[in-house]
Structure 1
């Protein structure tokens, strides 16, 4: 589970030549955002206006929206007040997803001229409000962005507008389970589509989302095949619920495909499998996924402020680590090391607030007890083998 966990925003395919976000990305971190508290500016960065070679259509009103402030308001008003109850009950209120939809967060990539940076900033803040809710919401964008790039016009006509609005919500089983070296999900082409077999060990949002974007590996053609399916059990699709130590309300399952048939009409895209190397697009996805650890740390520091133990030093460290992630995303630094530092810091922030809260931190249901579990979760979830190596080596005396 530690080496193959699903990324929050999975790499959407193609090599660096086809990822236009890379063109604008190189210099964007020079004026990178700081770790802001409510009311403080996130800073101004050059926008990344394209994803996967597709320029996103952005309306003027959405482009002028301060999505970071909108996320902060949603976190303060809706998510954070309910986070402990979500953790206790193991259920996310429908109202959380309704609020995300009504405020436009499902189509966030279309609502800003800076989709990559905005997803990272907004994701961090939503995670700090309610990890389980943000964890489910994050999966949506991997499938949405794949659909944007699809050449299956019939499928796009049926789903894209509803995915963009949030009328249809999506999960994802991404390319991490369809690597050429060791594919966990295999596609075999037939006359009328593909037969899918294998197991995705970590699929989030089962029973909470409507559809699932799944990537499998075609060993004969040496290509990845991404398809859309209903997020529901069937004769050849079986979900086994996983009990998580944190974000358990996200309804994460182990999903097994037993010669499941997918027609060609449900295929989003077929791409030549890419081997080796870390592209700039890979770096950007690794950066965005760092929002999980940064969001957990932000939650801890916000709670420390609330209980009367503010720490300017740790807020400054949060800013430093955030800047290091931004810089490493475009090649100025080791992105794996930066991610490892973010994971370590989430644990440090949780330890601080747990100590500050005292005995309440060892009582089940208390916010700081939950935050310690969430910090451990952030160390493991979205962690690649390379990040894991950096975490473990840095932890040795």
Structure 2
């Protein structure tokens, strides 16, 4: 696909994403929500469509999409099934790490199978965000010992690889390693997290005790400042979640005969997207734009519930499920600053600064 004309490449992948979202994921979303299980056929459909490698540059075997093209595809997939898309979204962070790593042997081993989707990957990086960190790394002669807690890790039992980040106890640098999940059973204890929405993400809390990580599995080492500077990309990728929900709600509003409301919500989404993209180099502005997008998603699903009326209270109804998923989007992949922004927005309270 990387040899295609860029316009054709974008068109092909976008068409594939639309087909998978609307013809495969959305028709099964209610059943995925009911059972709490994403069927293996969903992962195969994403891989067959070439959608596991969309974040990889051409030189890494990917399509070399522009960042905006990647986020558009993420939005489309989120509109199909939040559980499937949220689990799949984590994979792209690992692809990006492997495409940029200074560890050539790890890149040669894992990049091609992750780009193709033959290996699925997840991440556990939230343990390094707070101070003191929840996840630490202690240097040994030939590697590291990771210890700590990762409270929300999605895709457990689904992903083949897990990228775990920890803070060096000596320097506070962030060490990230990619490990096969099959090798984690001895030193990692997983406890299921019962979610009211997107339960099929197979989210667990990980307790890590004395996990030996050889240098050969380390994908990156950066200073803490560099780590937080790089988080803007992750914030923007997770910022696709609200827009995916808006896309589905507006489509259902059209069906419900509420086209003017759907049109206005799409206009607001376009405005919010531009604001989010323009804030990529400003962490504070980016979080503010992310909060506004999350609030917009809640507005969109509230409009859908109102349009559907009493039927939206039934557990089998799309509007009821999407309303629960809006609460997931408010807090998923969040951080204290974003939570505070949302609380102030919903309370109509001034910024204390």
Q: For the residues of structure 2 that align with 1:154 and 1:332, how far apart are their CA atoms?
A: 33
Q: For the residues of structure 2 that align with 1:62 and 1:252, how far apart are their CA atoms?
A: 39
Post-superposition offset of 1:62: 7.4
Alpha-carbon contact 2:2-2:64 (below 8 Å) kept = no
Q: For the residues of structure 2 that align with 1:178 and 1:148, how far apart are their CA atoms?
A: 22
Structure 2: segments with no counterpart, 5+ residues:
57-61, 349-353
Q: For the residues of structure 1 that align with 2:129 and 2:334, how far apart are their CA atoms?
A: 16
Alpha-carbon contact 2:78-2:86 (below 8 Å) kept = yes
Partner SS for 2:190: strand
Which of 239, 250, 253 in structure 2 is aligned with 1:290? 239
Hey, what does 1:185 align to over in structure 2? 135
Q: For the residues of structure 2 that align with 1:200 and 1:115, how far apart are their CA atoms?
A: 32
Post-superposition offset of 1:155: 1.8
Hey, what does 1:388 align to over in structure 2? 339
Q: For the residues of structure 2 that align with 1:253 and 1:272, how far apart are their CA atoms?
A: 28
Hey, what does 1:78 align to over in structure 2? 24
Q: For the residues of structure 2 that align with 1:258 and 1:333, how far apart are their CA atoms?
A: 34
Hey, what does 1:95 align to over in structure 2? 41
- Whether 1:69 and 2:15 are equivalent positions in the alignment is yes
Alpha-carbon contact 1:171-1:212 (below 8 Å) kept = yes
- Whether 1:321 and 2:272 are equivalent positions in the alignment is yes
Which of 194, 199, 207 in structure 2 is aligned with 1:243? 194
Q: For the residues of structure 2 that align with 1:159 and 1:364, how far apart are their CA atoms?
A: 41
Hey, what does 2:108 align to over in structure 1? 157
Partner SS for 1:105: coil
Post-superposition offset of 1:77: 1.1
TM-score, with length taken from structure 1 = 0.80
Post-superposition offset of 1:275: 6.9
Q: For the residues of structure 1 that align with 2:223 and 2:290, how far apart are their CA atoms?
A: 28
**Greater relative contact order: 1 or 2 (C-alpha under 8 angstroms, separation 6 or more)?**
1
TM-score, with length taken from structure 2 = 0.90
Structure 1: segments with no counterpart, 5+ residues:
1-57
Hey, what does 1:17 align to over in structure 2? none
Partner SS for 2:222: strand
Q: For the residues of structure 2 that align with 1:339 and 1:105, how far apart are their CA atoms?
A: 24
Post-superposition offset of 1:333: 8.9
Post-superposition offset of 1:206: 0.5
Per-residue Cα deviation, 1:261-294 (whole angstroms, up to 9, x for no partner): 1122222222222279x74x54343222210111
- Inter-CA distance 115–214: structure 2 relative to 1 (3 Å threshold): farther
Which of 95, 102, 105 in structure 2 is aligned with 1:144? 95
Q: For the residues of structure 1 that align with 2:219 and 2:281, how far apart are their CA atoms?
A: 28
Q: For the residues of structure 1 that align with 2:312 and 2:342, how far apart are their CA atoms?
A: 25
Q: For the residues of structure 2 that align with 1:73 and 1:275, how far apart are their CA atoms?
A: 38
Partner SS for 2:287: helix
Q: Which has the higher helix share?
A: 2
- Whether 1:59 and 2:2 are equivalent positions in the alignment is yes
Q: For the residues of structure 2 that align with 1:269 and 1:330, how far apart are their CA atoms?
A: 22
Alpha-carbon contact 1:108-1:115 (below 8 Å) kept = no
Alpha-carbon contact 1:180-1:275 (below 8 Å) kept = no
Q: For the residues of structure 2 that align with 1:268 and 1:235, how far apart are their CA atoms?
A: 22
- Inter-CA distance 146–125: structure 2 relative to 1 (3 Å threshold): same
- Inter-CA distance 350–198: structure 2 relative to 1 (3 Å threshold): same
Hey, what does 1:38 align to over in structure 2? none
Alpha-carbon contact 1:112-1:118 (below 8 Å) kept = no
Q: For the residues of structure 2 that align with 1:299 and 1:86, how far apart are their CA atoms?
A: 16
Per-residue Cα deviation, 1:274-328 (whole angstroms, up to 9, x for no partner): 279x74x543432222101111122111111123322222221122212221222
Q: Provide the aligned C-alpha RMSD in A.
A: 2.0
Post-superposition offset of 1:167: 0.7
Q: For the residues of structure 1 that align with 2:240 and 2:34, how far apart are their CA atoms?
A: 24
Hey, what does 1:258 align to over in structure 2? 209
Q: For the residues of structure 2 that align with 1:338 and 1:243, how far apart are their CA atoms?
A: 29
Hey, what does 1:209 align to over in structure 2? 159
